[in-house]
Amino acid sequence: MLWWQQPWLLVQGLVITLGLSTAAVKIPGRTQEWSLEKTLSLREEVRVLWYHGYDNYLTYAFPLDELQPISCQGRGPDWNDPSNYGFNDVNGNFSVTLVDVLDTFVTLNDPKGFDDAVRKVIQHVSFDVDTKPQVFETTIRVLGGLLSAHLFASDDDLGAQFAKRSESGSSFRLDWYEDELLELAWDLGKRLLPAFDTPTGLPYARINLRSGVPRGETTQTCTAGAGSLLLEFTTLSRLTSDMRFENLAKKAYQAVWNRRTSLGLVGNGIDVITGSWYYPIGGGIGAGIDSFYEYALKMYVLTGEKPYLDIWNEAYAAIMNHSRGADGFWYKAVNAYTGEVSQAHVDSLAAFWPGLQVLAGDVENAIKSHLVYWNLWRRFSAIPETFNIISKEGITLGYPLRPEFIESTYFLYRATRDPFYLTVGERVLRDLIARNRAPCGMATLSNSVTGEQEDRMESFALSETLKYLYLLFDEENPLHTLDSNFVFTTEGHVLPLPRRYLRRSSAVAGPSKKDAKGSKASDTCPPPSPRLIPTWSDRNHTTGLAGSISDRPDADYARHLVGLALDAPEAAEDATHWSLEGICDAPRYDTHPTTFVLTAYGEEAPEDPYPGPEKLALNADGTGVTVYNVSGIQLKAITRVDGRGYDIVQIGQHKIKSSQKVWFADPRLLKSETPQNSSSYVDPYQKQTVPLRFFAESTKPKATPAQKILQTLFGDAEYTVSGVSANWGDQPGQKLEESEWDPNVSSRPRARLGKGSEALPLVWPPKENRHGCKPHIPADFDETSHFAPPQIYEDSVLLLDRGECTFVEKTQYAEQAGARSVIVLSDDDVLPSMTSADPDYDFVQMYIKYISFIIIGGKEHANKLNEMMSQTDARIMVEVDKTKPTGFDLVEAAKSNSNAVPKRMRSDWDRLRKLGVGRPLFINGKRLLNAALLF
């Protein structure tokens, strides 16, 4: 069966092939013939190599962290030199190799070995250690290893899927197991939490597991280290119901993403206190950044939550537009602000990128980028740490057994089933055995040219490198068809998240987009089409035979790119892959358009940086944005990886999510002539104001002296003032019908601060948390408990001071405590923008739904409300003032005004939008898929 004839299964964007041919497989061209017997034979060679490393670790190194494979002894942290970060960042005196390889026993189908390893971890591993490892490395190697093993040891469904494959029918579920690994993971997670105690929410790079962040600890960290904690921390929160981990990891990720440059790129070094990028501000996909992008896409695959897919789509477009080389094969490091080349080298860590492109469905570009690393391996029999693409020389020649290239090879084989990738894997295996095998394990190469070995075997050699190589040759491994939301973490841990831990899809996803024919668009990708090998007369790849990767006319371009074409072939297999007289296509590059400023008639118009609702507005039903006046509106679009057209990712200040659409309702777009006066109609605009009424409700039957003072100060103990609400969360200025606020639906609360609703009590938190920047937890609550803390402010409104943390954090902590609204007092008369386009609000529309946020500006108002609250014998209530119009009322009135767009036209637009009816729009002849013209 040829690879392009395989049936396909699409699971949350992960492309998985089904079907297996036991006969020999041969692709047209020069690729060697592969039989199932040969593939399984290579699989067993990998298994022998893996146990050579693991068994010697147990014999000579356990319970220390690492095995030294040449001297056959173990080692842990460098106790004599705390600044030896190369060892101390990963070796925390907690048997890191053992913990890191736990789920590899599942991959190898070794239930007995899994049982033994889990028992050893429970008996010997403790995190009450006086060591200072790196937060990122400890999370991905240790926390991830514990969580993955816990799921396999405890989940019946997972165990059953793998038991079917076992000859003995043994399951990886352990009958004697009582969540000990999860307890260890929770203990480790809590010891990492102090690292996040920074003004930005970005974690310190390192932490002492016993005493916390040391005084004077460096404030510099890398983007990947700060932002690549989401998978492990989210899983820990879902399994323990302790949401601190997911919230902090999400906040750290947002803190990085929200600081992206105007090009959509992030730097590779950031200060955890100031949030400033370190110079030079390099953007790209390599060291320091790599897994930050990886975790955006994999969080979507794991959880199904669309905001992470939105981030990935925008980030991918930025990388393809600014970091991708003009030939489409390699990715350069660039200045994140200007896009200018800052370094002309590729590094070994970036070899993960083709595998991630496969996961995203962009197989064609994955093939190209993988060819660069394949030719590097052919030249060096390894991947040097850094390679200069201009001089075609290695810079840092060491090879510490990194897995990224083998990982991408595995993903490309599963996506294409082209035996070419088995040939690649065989070459890698032969080189590992010949050059890296040592007396007691697998040794790092200190020089990939000379083959000189170094006496070190990092844990990822077993947990990732040989795991992916084993999976490449193991055709029937259950992981190929695992029917659940699962990912490989950046450390190669198999992390499935059972559906009972997922949030309801309606709360996080929203409706899917529709394609040009009105059909519901899939959030997964189609199988790749085979590349046609052209005849000499057809260089556009429209005719010819389907062939292997090695037969592509552009395959040898990558060989030249790394300097291999300048050397004599070092092996017979290389001679068959290229010829000086052969075809060498000039690579074709697909551009990714970025930003446009719109006009109605083609006239010049300055960009309007803050267009109000008279120009464009979010639709109340969450379906996207309606544009009433295009003049000066900035539009940002990206090319879809499936080649079908373009998607708008931002219009004005509004980010367009994957489930939303942009509706154009500017009547001028249908007029053929430019009027003499092309100024647009203008809707009168009012701020999103909320009139509030505060009043004292006696808690005693008779008036107290305090209440008499209130009456003297405020008349009938009442005070009215207007605030400004955020456009995320509940909208207090909008009246909701009972059907829209049904307490029996989902997790909606029974009370709200909103128009037409009853008054709610106003509550002041204790002085030590007056800003609301910490969880609202009773002093006597046992934080070691598995139970969530009580909601001490249930159905109340929390009055907070401005500062010390973001508005989003204040709202999240208040909602966790049961509050229905947050009112923040600000001494400033000029209030900040409260739109969802502001930096902190990328995720909030998904996570904050049933609580409102209001800010009141002006020192006079703040003083009066503080004085009112200080009267301890009176209960202060607050409600939306029923006697005054809200901002929503004023805007609706303005929309129906005769000077604005006729109300009938607005009604027609709403009707067409709800029906999904609209005329298509095109850019350069290709459909703008998430946009329509409402005429």
The Cα angle at residue 579 between residues 575 and 581, in degrees rounded to 5: 160
Catalytic residue among 66, 137, 314, 614: 137
Q: CA-CA distance, 754 to 692, in Å (whole number)?
A: 10
Closest C-alpha among 829, 767, 836 to residue 807: 836
The DSSP symbol for 757 reads: P
- Give the pairing type, strands 852-857 and 821-826: parallel
- Contact, 557 vs 577, CB < 8 A? no
- Contact, 788 vs 781, CB < 8 A? no
* CB-based contacts of 725, cutoff 8 Å, min separation 6: 688, 689, 690, 731, 732, 733, 834, 852, 853, 854, 887
What are the b/e assignments for 92-118, b being 16+ CB within 10 Å? bbbbbbbbbbbbbbbbbbbbebbbebb
Q: How far is CA 131 from CA 83, 197, 210, 737, in A?
A: 12, 19, 7, 57
Active site residue 604: no
The DSSP symbol for 840 reads: G
Active site residue 128: no
Catalytic residue among 66, 290, 474, 647: 290
Q: CA-CA distance, 466 to 218, in Å (whole number)?
A: 35
DSSP H/E element including 907: helix 903-915
Active site residue 515: no
Closest C-alpha among 346, 352, 363 to residue 405: 352
* CB-based contacts of 61, cutoff 8 Å, min separation 6: 67, 68, 73, 74, 75, 97
Q: CA-CA distance, 393 to 387, in Å (whole number)?
A: 6
Q: How far is CA 51 from CA 47, 94, 162, 612, in A?
A: 6, 21, 20, 64
For the CA atoms of 807, 810, 813, 816, what is the dihedral angle to 10 degrees? -70
Catalytic residue among 103, 404, 551, 815: 404
Q: CA-CA distance, 47 to 709, in Å (whole number)?
A: 82
The Cα angle at residue 364 between residues 361 and 370, in degrees rounded to 5: 100
For residue 280, whether the previous peptide bond is cis, meaning omega lies within 30 degrees of 0, is: yes
What are the b/e assignments for 404-413, b being 16+ CB within 10 Å? bbbbbbbbbb
Query: Which residue is associated with the tokens 């990732």?
Result: 464
- Contact, 528 vs 416, CB < 8 A? yes
Q: CA-CA distance, 462 to 441, in Å (whole number)?
A: 10
Q: How far is CA 655 from CA 249, 381, 572, 619, 834, in A?
A: 22, 45, 53, 13, 14
Active site residue 642: no
- Contact, 320 vs 293, CB < 8 A? no
Q: How many Cβ atoms are within 10 Å of 317's Cβ, its own excluded?
A: 23
Catalytic residue among 45, 155, 232, 385: 385
Q: Which residues are catalytic?
A: 137, 290, 385, 404
